[in-house]
Chains A and B, each alone.
Chain A
Amino acid sequence: MQFIKDFVHKYPKMIIVVTILITIFFAYQAVDIQINTDIKKMFPEGDPVVDTFDRISEKYGGAEYVVLMLQDENIMDQESLEHIAEITTRMDKIDGVNKARSITNIEEIRGQGFTVEVGEFIKELPANKKEAEKLSKQILTKDRYLGTLVSEDLKAATIIAQLSPDSDQQYVVSKVKDIRNDVKLTEESYLTGNPVLTKTMADNMKSDILKLFPFVSVVVMTILFTSFRSIRGILLPIIVVLLSVVWTIGFVAWLEKTLSIVSTVLPVLLVSVGSAYAIHFLARFYEDQLDGASKFEAITRSILKVGIAIIMAGITTIAGFSSLGLSELTIIKDFGLFTAFGVLVALLMSITFLPAVLKLMKKPKHFQAAEKRPMLDGIFTVLFKIVKNYNGIVIVIAIVVSLLSLWVAPKIQPETNYITFFQQGSEIRQANKLVNSKFGGSDSLEIIIDTQQANGIEDPKFLQKVDQLQTKLEKVDLLSNTMSVVDLLEEENKALNHGQEEYKRLPKRGIAQYLLLLSSDDDDILSDYIDFDHREVRIRIMTANAGSEKTENMLAKVRKLVNNQFDGDKYQVTITGIPVLRNNLTDMIVSSQIRSLIASIFFAFIITSILLKSPLRGFVCSFPIAVTVLLNFGLMGWTSIPLNVATSMIASIAVGVGVDYSIHCYTRYQEEREEGAGLMGSLQVAIETIGRANYFNATAVTAGFLVLLFSSFPPLKTFGLLTSITMVVSFLGAMILLPSLIISGQKIAEILNGSDDITLNN
């Protein structure tokens, strides 16, 4: 501290220039920042679940789909079919689209009389109403398309683009949107599928950041104005945090990392959290000058006295965010580490750049931040009275709240369904609802059954088992429209037998010959469902988008069915697809949550113990925050707020930010005690002075998080609200519970010492 103080006094200009130069460097980097919302990027690098997904996608041309859905009174009329045909052709040509399928280009295996042909189901679009009606009747007999490409009521149709594994998903989605606009549809149209969700999320994120960042800056500045009532009181803290945001974003870009859905919170978080250090510094700076210190002395004392507390608070905050680095989820890990970096920057700037600027500025004329404020002072008088008279009750309440929270915490449901990231009634939600109800979903579950020998699938007995499995799978909740080589063989068999319905079954022998014939096809429909060596089959099942719990149950059922049907070492079965990825994410969120929660509270305790040189003091400072965190889980349990990527961060944020209030309060109390004041007197000073800075900070942080209520992501709104509540609670925890603990601790110590001389009023 001494070193920093000397440095600030000697080289204020140099500090400012260096800060500006570094800012320019990071600002230059920040321009290139990328946003990524791909579900796969949430997993750790080299995760086997993602590797399997990629391997299967690569082999079968992609397992992600963009689905454009059209809805009309009659989707099989001439006009709609023309639209579908045009969109299909144009979609097929987009870079990154492996194949676009719709009713206008789907192949059928035809058998008419003596001929056999694999060709497009609709050879030529109907020229008149009569032909269209005839086609509608035909479609009703084609269960391979019905419910996938055309809804059973003939009021909706889909155009499904299968994306290559290496495609630029955001590019494909925007191209599909362009095509939709170009075609001038008379039908209602809806766009869905995982890449669409991802892209829309990225778009929402961008507009969110652009909207919320200035908003939170203004809100925090307003709070700063009510606190400091001076221009420099507003500008200095806000400049510190804006610079730290620039540094952080620049740092992320410089590391060639990307922003994710949770990183949207990053600027908001840094503005509200990072302003704390400058607030505490300035509050002390004004307080000392009001006490008669010169500008020089005020700077010195602020650095020496508050600087320590700021660093302590900063370290616990950094540790809190770093504990997110233990998460398995890449997005949360990155977010935690980047925020920790940002906090470090804000902290360093508050004790170097900020005093350097103050040093060069004129002495302020007013010290309103520290002057009499009847209302504020009134609040702290009340708080102190509570502490003094009801400290036992405060502790009991805290314990009761903790126990009640512990009781409901296990009821919290994890949720990773992307759809919950969109507002009710948004196009994405409507599209999702429609595609689930009319087409059984837009995601697919992929089951690969490897016979472990070349041409193994040509055994009719094996294929019969596949067929049976498909029948069973279709009965599972959320699943519909299974598709495999079995369906193609059945269709072919029918075609080869004069189109007689009774032949729509697996051929009893000669599978290799049937496959040979099917391989003579323009579209190569076979390669979607079997591999080159005829070793394995792929079953594709459309999966409705549902909550994490339902998905988990569905997957458990699927695994059981598959294992029953293909047990033993003879077969190797792989199950993958977007629903599997989502499910794994759910498991990760839960395990990450537990891990980072324990780590953050543990860190807070260890760090405060070390900083305050006593595990008991460490406990006193960490206890209020532990209660706060428990209350957060209690709130989630009582109000059925799910645990998702956003809410799973609250505990660590609460610990990291909330423990600051306790540290500031405790260090001030200690400072007063060391200067000879009594227990109650010290507490009173601590509550009334630090209370003010804590209050300024808590209002800034709380207001900052409340800005998230204006986010377009429902989970971020919930996150903002919950975090705000947590901030208020941890502020009260530091101001009431912490002093109450100190008093009770003293009482207990005195009872243990056998002294009945109560000295609390000293």
Chain B
Amino acid sequence: MKRIITLVLIMTLVLSVNGLVLGQELSGDDILDKVEASIDAQSSKVKLRMELYDKSGSKRKRKLEAFTKDGEYDKALIRFLAPASVEDTAFLSQEKNSDDEDMYLYMPALGNVRKIAGSQKNGSFVGTDFSYNDLSILGGGNYKEDYKATILKENNKEYLLRLVPTDEEIEYKFVKMWVQKSNWFPTKLKFYDEEGKLYKELISEDIKEKSGYWTAEKMTMKDLQADSKTILYLDEITYDLDLNDRIFTVRYLRR
């Protein structure tokens, strides 16, 4: 459900051009369908840079590569490329069934693979401003499983949706999502905490078409309460590769 796979899908937030349907009265859930239906890349390989900023503006940089594959089970692998101190540290996520996922961690320093208990969906993903849940919502593929959508507003260019979690493990009261009509791409999301206070904001920029999928090359997640932010830059992306299932095994983690 809240699969790590979706981490990769944020970066590859895509929408097939043929997903456009015009001239119909759409409900909020219909729009979610459009967003979801448009993400149909079967696999991806991504290289990205991550910049973390704290409230004083200090910066930490990381480089990662990630592989995703949809299939009977959705799978994702994320490996750190830099800095050297965390190079080759890797996470593997395997969805077992719709309610469960396994996360594995490989730490070169330990030389061993450990299973991570998946109970921290609302926690930070490796110190970033993204939680595992954010990755999930952004993945798009699972909106309808976790959220119920209503249309708050619409104009010629975009819809404003209000998403209310149906999954009680998601610690947001609701999420506001702005979806472009031209390509069903969500450009901005605002996350509200359990008390209804604005908590985080995600903005997608440099939205380009790559291999027929719409992709944001820069995504900024701001934690407005902690005054920190994380920026993701997509350096390389390849869709629909023929990825070997072996990549997504515990053995491959410690390559």
Interface residues of A, Cβ cutoff 8 Å to B: 93, 110-111, 114-119, 455, 458, 496, 507, 509-514, 516-517, 519-524, 526, 532-533
Contact = CB atoms under 8 A, between A and B. Distances in A.
B120 interface: yes
Interface string B205-239: 00000000000000000000000000000000000
Contacts of B108: 510, 513
Nearest to B228: A532
Interface string B108-126: 1110101111011011111
B124 A116 contact: no
Interface string B98-140: 0000000101111010111101101111110000000000000
B109 A514 contact: yes
Interface stretch (B83-91, B157-165, B174-182): B83-91
B94 to A, nearest CB: 14
A131 to B, nearest CB: 19
Given A510-B109, A513-B108, 19 more contacts: A110-B117, A115-B114, A116-B114, A116-B116, A458-B85, A510-B107, A511-B85, A511-B109, A513-B85, A514-B107, A516-B86, A519-B124, A520-B123, A521-B120, A521-B124, A522-B124, A532-B52, A532-B58, A533-B58
A270 to B, nearest CB: 47
Contacts of B96: none
Contacts of B117: 110, 115-117, 119
Interface string B7-47: 00000000000000000000000000000000000000000
Interface of B: 52, 54, 56, 58, 60, 80, 83, 85-86, 89, 105, 107-110, 112, 114-117, 119-120, 122-127, 195
Contacts, number: 86
A114 B123 CA distance: 21
A511 B107 CA distance: 10
A488 B105 CA distance: 18
B120 A507 contact: no
18 contacts: A110-B117, A115-B115, A115-B116, A116-B116, A117-B117, A119-B119, A455-B83, A510-B107, A510-B108, A516-B89, A516-B127, A517-B105, A517-B107, A520-B124, A522-B120, A532-B52, A532-B58, A533-B60
Given A510-B110, A532-B58, A119 B120 contact: yes
Contacts of B107: 496, 510, 513-514, 517
B115 A520 contact: no
B97 to A, nearest CB: 18
B215 to A, nearest CB: 26
B114 A512 contact: no
Contacts of A117: 116-117, 119-120
A111 B112 CA distance: 14
A311 to B, nearest CB: 57
A524 B80 CA distance: 21
Nearest to B171: A522
B60 A513 contact: no
A385 to B, nearest CB: 77
A496 B113 CA distance: 9
Contacts of A523: 123
A455 B116 contact: no
A516 B117 CA distance: 16
Contacts of A517: 105, 107, 126
Nearest to A120: B119
A513 B114 contact: no
For the complex of A and B, 5 pairs with smallest distance between CB atoms: A510-B109, A519-B127, A512-B85, A522-B123, A117-B117
Contacts of A524: 124
A507 B109 contact: yes
A523 B124 CA distance: 9
Nearest to B88: A513
Contacts of A533: 58, 60
B124 A532 contact: no
